[in-house]
Amino acid sequence: MLDHVRQAPGEPEAPLHSELRRLADQLLAEATHAPPNHHTALTLLAADALMTYACEAAAEADPSLLATLR
């Protein structure tokens, strides 16, 4: 997961919730194409955590943004 965060070419002006969502989507895509093992389970947990943080960041910025995170 740290490799994704370090190498992710984010948008400098993007809101925090968007960047967290983008990283969560990348991890989810990685997990769906990986074999079902311990590493994949940890990747899924990391994606879930990032999505949770994205929801929190969006709610803090503007609760109406939560509808955009689908």
What six digits make up the tokens of 6?
A: 């370090």
pTM to 2 decimal places: 0.78
Q: Residue 5 has what pLDDT? A: 57
Write the pLDDT tens digit of every residue in 29-49. Answer: 999 999 999 999 999 999 999
Average pLDDT over residues 24-29: 94
- CA atoms of 54 and 69, how far apart (whole Å): 8
